[in-house]
Amino acid sequence: MFKIIKVKDYEEMSDKAFDVVKEVVDANPKCVLGLATGSSPVGLYQRMIKDHQENGTSYADVTTFNLDEYCGLPKSHPESYYSFMHRNLFSGLNIPEENIHIPEDGEDKEAKCKEYDASMESYTVDLQVLGIGSNGHIGFNEPGTAFDTKTHIVTLKESTRQDNARFFDSIDKVPTHAITMGIDTIMHAKKIIIVASGANKADAIYAMIHGPKTTDVPASVLQDHPDVVVVVDAEAGKLL
């Protein structure tokens, strides 16, 4: 079930998303958070850091699981999701490093996927933060991904590589593959918040909510989840 919150712009979207995260962390300081990378949650992460630093909200007992990571980039690469998360969130909070989980690429990719699923096995994600791809992907579950997937390796769609090229020197530097939490795992989170801003997300947001449930739009699977908060700015929500 979707609870749709339409706001003016990115800043207001980040404020609303922060309220949702804060409620979960306050209610259970040992909560498990599922986290996303990309531009959409950066404002949310800035607010979490500000709140931690100014109000002392502690993340010492919080555990996190990230959605995905590029294949073929070392952790130290500035655009690896490991670097992104440390730069944009973890460096400003007090989450112990051992509580942080980010999928890892490696020589034996199958083993790395199994390892990530095993690391999640004894946890239930209390709140999963999601962005959405302009093609409707969640995590890096691209259109066509089965709804029953666990952690797996994906070939990134050309549209996704184009969307993410802004972070790299050129399009050929954008990785072609990624490791991602699967759709089945995402759906097991108790609560989900999805944030989207900008006109290029409007079609995907509309299809997620009002379109048929289809693997062509991976986010449409969220129609089956009992508790999804959708925070959209005016442009991303313009078709709703």
3-class SS shares of the chain: helix, strand, coil, % to 5: 40, 20, 40
Beta strands in 94-171 (DSSP E): 100-101, 127-130, 152-155
> How far are the Cα atoms of 32, 33, 193 from residue 99, in angstroms, in the given order?
9, 10, 21
* Sequence letter at residue 125: V
Contact between residue 141 and residue 103 where contact means Cβ atoms under 8 Å apart: no
What is the nearest approach in angstroms of ligand F6R to the Cβ of residue 69? 9
Residue 40 touches ligand F6R, criterion: CB under 6 A? yes
Residue 139 touches ligand F6R, criterion: CB under 6 A? yes
Instruction: Give the DSSP H or E segment for 15.
Output: helix 10-27
For residue 37, the tally of other CB atoms under 10 A from its CB is 28
Positions annotated as catalytic residues are 68, 135, 137, 142
Which residue's CB is nearer to ligand F6R, number 60 or number 146?
A: 146
For residue 118, the tally of other CB atoms under 10 A from its CB is 10
Residue 39 touches ligand F6R, criterion: CB under 6 A? yes
- Cα gap 127→227, rounded to integer Å: 10
Shortest-Cβ-distance residue relative to ligand F6R: 131
Question: Interface with ligand F6R by CB under 6 A: which range of 108-116, 125-133, 149-157, 224-232?
Answer: 125-133
Look up residue 218 and give its DSSP letter: G
Q: Which of 133, 136, 175, 182 is in the footprint of ligand F6R by CB under 6 A?
A: 133
What is the nearest approach in angstroms of ligand F6R to the Cβ of residue 227? 19
Kindly write out the interface string for residues 44-83 of this chain, putting x where it contacts ligand F6R by CB under 6 A and - elsewhere.
-----------------------xx---------------
Alpha helices in 132-221 (DSSP H): 158-164, 183-187, 202-210
Residue 38 touches ligand F6R, criterion: CB under 6 A? yes
Question: Interface with ligand F6R by CB under 6 A: which range of 44-52, 90-98, 127-135, 210-218?
Answer: 127-135
What is the nearest approach in angstroms of ligand F6R to the Cβ of residue 24? 19
Instruction: Using CB under 6 A, list all residues that contact ligand F6R.
Output: 36-40, 67-68, 131-133, 137-140
